C-alpha cells in the first residue's frame, strides 16, 4: 500500500498542472505567443 500513498499525490499534482495549462490556453490562446515570440527573418542590407 505504500506505493499508492506516494504515487497518488504526485499523479494528482501532474494532472492538475497539465489541466491548468490546458484551461489557460483555452481561455487565452495568445498567451503562448507572449512566452514564445514569433520568428522573424533577418533582412539583407
Q: What's the CA angle centered on 9, arms 6 and 11, to 5 degrees?
A: 100
Please report the pLDDT score of residue 15 as a whole number.
92
Please report the pLDDT score of residue 16 as a whole number.
95
Please report the pLDDT score of residue 42 as a whole number.
79
Please give the Cα distance from 35 to 15 (Å, whole number).
22
Q: Per-residue pLDDT tens for 17-39?
A: 999 988 888 887 776 666 666 77
List, in order, residues 6 or more apart from 32 with CB less than 8 Å away. Answer: 25
Q: What is the pTM of this model?
A: 0.54
Query: Cell 495549462 appears where?
Result: 21
Q: Where are the domains of the chain?
A: 2-35
Amino acid at each position: 500500500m505504500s506505493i499508492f500513498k506516494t504515487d497518488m499525490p504526485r499523479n494528482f499534482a501532474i494532472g492538475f498542472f497539465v489541466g491548468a495549462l490546458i484551461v489557460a490556453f483555452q481561455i487565452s490562446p495568445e498567451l503562448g505567443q507572449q512566452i514564445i515570440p514569433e520568428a522573424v527573418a533577418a533582412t539583407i542590407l
